[in-house]
Structure 1
Amino acid sequence: MESLHDPEAKRALRRQLRRKRSILSRHEQRQAALNLCQQLKRLPEVQRARRISLYLPVNGEIDPTPLLPWFQKRNVDVYLPVLRPLSANSLWFVAYHAHTPMVKNRFGILEPDTRFAAHRRNRLPAWALDTLIVPLVGFDAQANRMGMGGGFYDRSLAFIRRGGPAPALIGVAHACQQVDTLPVEPWDVPLTAVASDRAVVRADKKKSRP
């Protein structure tokens, strides 16, 4: 079997896993999203968060946005990742609410308008967030994450590898995106846990909760 440290092998696995989630029906996607959100509501890292980042799904990604009314009732401030202007593959985290002006970025993903995001009062540095809910392409039983390959989260959260206070990182995916094992690269930022529509896998891998 080809090593997943090989770039071509990783690209092939990404294609395979993206295909798996893309063939899910609209009903399956909706049910998976609701199941995921029930898993997330039980996590202490989500329950205690007052400032949380999530994402708007594209290309079959599992949808965390059914959590938005629950966050609103709990007076949780919600932020979205925004491609940072004039910076290579890194992110801002920008306030998101009903009146946030939205535009499509170069990947066709809706995000808060750059002019809105540029005002410091509308964004937070990553270290000031309590919890980030992050998309992934693949994961394993040790909560290792395979992202899209652009390194946006790894660059934006590189400070976590240096130690000190840091937000909790919760990866989310469809259960069909789990694989036996993934390689860990030196630049990978470790997740706290991965939640799918079926279970939660903790990075300490002592147990997964159905």
Structure 2
Amino acid sequence: MKSRRALRSEMRARRRAVCEPERVRMAGALARHLGASLRVRGARRVACYLSNDGEMRLDPVMDFLRANGRQVLLPALHGDGLWFLPYDRDTRLAPNRFGIPEPVVTGRARCRARDLDVVFMPLVAFDTTGNRLGMGGGFYDRTFSYLRHRAFWTKPLLIGIAYEFQRLESLPSRPWDVPLQGVATEERLYRFDA
């Protein structure tokens, strides 16, 4: 099995190689899959992300959510975790320490991770059991670490967002990795929870 570092390098290169017209087409297909999901349609507060480094775009998904009266939030780095802030087209953004645009933290209301209904998470690779390989910073894992004890917490639903080619048969996991309940690709929605 390849190392996590080698997998990251390979999958990031494949993501960046997707041409823009294909990226737009796949983002539209992804939005249709997510729009048909009853769990997503019933959500009130949904955390998304702004695509970076070839990640699957969520613009059509965010448009769908807003058109249906849902609150869209974006992550913002805070220490070694994430805050979630409301996002619309007028939200002021600034690059974080990794150069990724995020909402400027002001007096705006922050949403605690536990108060989100659904979180769409970027990823580098995923496997058939819900393991996620991220960029390696651990921000999502630390923010949602309380979900490893799922008997006590049921929110939010964690859904990875990926291209179909990012699916692997298995991934090496670490004790601190927080598993996904699903992954949405341009081809389908995978469910890993019961």
Give TM class, smaller chain. Answer: over 0.9
After TM superposition, the runs of 4+ consecutive aligned structure 1 residues lying more than 6 A away are none
1:203 is matched with 192
User: Matched residues in 2 for 1:122 and 1:99: separation?
Assistant: 16
1:80 is matched with 74
Amino acid paired to 1:140: D
Output one character per residue of 1:34-62: Cα deviation in whole Å (capped at 9) or x when no partner. 11111111222211000010000011000
Larger displacement relative to structure 2 (162-171 or 52-61):
162-171
User: Matched residues in 1 for 2:38 and 2:134: separation?
Assistant: 24
Shift of 1:143: 2.2
Q: Which of these residues, 133, 138, 143, is aligned with residue 120 of structure 2? A: 133
Instruction: State how many pairs are aligned.
Output: 192
Conserved 8 A contact 1:54-1:80: yes
Amino acid paired to 2:8: R
1:190 is matched with 179
Shift of 1:177: 0.9
Shift of 1:158: 0.7
User: Matched residues in 2 for 1:68 and 1:150: separation?
Assistant: 25
Q: Which of these residues, 7, 10, 13, is aligned with residue 13 of structure 1? A: 7
Amino acid paired to 1:122: A
User: Matched residues in 1 for 2:18 and 2:72: separation?
Assistant: 28
Output one character per residue of 1:177-204: Cα deviation in whole Å (capped at 9) or x when no partner. 1112112321111111011111221114
The DSSP-based 3-state class of the residue aligned with 2:98 is coil
Query: Does 2:167 correspond to 1:178?
Result: yes
Q: Counterparts in 2 of 1:52-201, with a 5 A limit? A: 52-84=46-78, 87=79, 89-114=80-105, 116=106, 119=107, 121-163=108-150, 164-165=152-153, 166-201=155-190
- Which structure 2 segments of 5+ residues have no match? none
TM (norm. structure 2) is 0.94
Shift of 1:99: 2.3
Identity of aligned residues (%): 39
User: Matched residues in 1 for 2:136 and 2:98: separation?
Assistant: 13
The DSSP-based 3-state class of the residue aligned with 1:149 is coil
User: Matched residues in 1 for 2:15 and 2:26: separation?
Assistant: 11
Give the root-mean-square deviation of aligned CA atoms. 1.4
- Which structure 1 segments of 5+ residues have no match? none
User: Matched residues in 1 for 2:54 and 2:48: separation?
Assistant: 16
Larger displacement relative to structure 2 (157-166 or 75-84):
157-166
